[in-house]
A = this chain, B = another copy of it.
Amino acid sequence: MLTFIGLGLFDKNDISLKGLEAIKNADMVFAEFYTSRLMGSTIEELETLYCKPIHVLSREDVEISPNWLAEAQEKNVVFLTGGDTMVSTTHVDLRLRAKDMDINTRLIHGSSIASAICGLSGLQNYRFGKASTVPHPYTSIRGNTIISETPYDTIKLNKEHDMHTLIFLDIDKDKGYMTVNQALGLLLEIEKRRGEGVMENAIAVGIARAGSDEPIVKAGYVRHLQEEDFGEPLHILVVPASLHFIEAEAFVKLLGAPQEILDELDD
């Protein structure tokens, strides 16, 4: 039996009772922390809570040669990830391999930014369109800096249909965790090039350390938000479409957005 367990948003205590019990009953505990990791706990802290060792898998162990899967043919094996479980394609692939090996699988879900974003921002869940990611720029063979235009296009498309956009920020082993400020800077640079008015005068929401005891959540005009300090990672960005009244009220009263956002709705 292979049980996929989502550890939840931030630290060791975000796991569900059901998830912890499954770990306690497991013969072996595997985890991958390269697609998503808990920012608020170390692996040692997890091992102390579980009272057993965790085998941390590399990308190769997960995607190329997951030989450890064979353990689940005879034993109770759990596979841990940050956030909810099986959100990454890589995990679906593992489940398919397990199926081919006649291993039963089971999922135990954890909290995820996909829903947490609503509570944190006050934005309504059914108004979100497609999500996107702002990747770090890279240097082409000719030495040019390439900035992906995909997130800009996604925000534009969603706005055309009055949908909010959740934007994940790149995590790179070498280039580090992208900040809200960097992401806004990149989006404004594409705006400067294309001039389509998607980001200029737009309102955005920057979120840091969702799921922690003291997340930072700030809403405001992009130019102002770019000046704010969001502190430690992970950061997430939302670019909303038009705001319903209660969404605007949440922005102003809870997230520090300027009063004029609400006044404009009254006009």
- Name A96's contact: one of B85, B111, B157, B249 (CB within 8 Å): B249
For the complex formed, measure the closest distance between the CB of A7 and the CB atoms of chain B, giving whole angstroms. 10
Given A13-B17, A15-B16, A16-B13, does the pair A87, B107 have CB atoms closer than 8 Å?
A: no
- Name A111's contact: one of B100, B111, B120 (CB within 8 Å): B111
Q: Chain A 1-42 against B: per-residue CB contact (8 Å), 1 yes, 0 no?
A: 000101011011111111011000000000000000000000
Closest to A100 in B: B253
- Name A84's contact: one of B18, B111, B133 (CB within 8 Å): B111
A118 touches B84 (CB 8 A): yes
Q: How many copies does the complex hold?
A: 2
Q: Tell me if A132 is interfacial: C-beta within 8 Å of chain B.
A: yes
A118 touches B86 (CB 8 A): yes
Q: Tell me if A144 is interfacial: C-beta within 8 Å of chain B.
A: no
Closest to A245 in B: B89
Given A14-B18, A119-B87, does the pair A114, B111 have CB atoms closer than 8 Å?
A: no
Give bound CA distance, A238 to B256, whole Å. Answer: 36
Q: Tell me if A192 is interfacial: C-beta within 8 Å of chain B.
A: no
The stretch among A66-74, A121-129, A227-235 that forms the contact with chain B is A121-129
Show the binding face of A for B, using Cβ within 8 Å. Answer: 4, 6, 8-9, 11-18, 20-21, 83-87, 89, 91-93, 95-96, 99-100, 106-107, 109-112, 114-116, 118-120, 122, 124-133, 157, 161, 163, 210-211, 213, 246-247, 249-250, 253-254
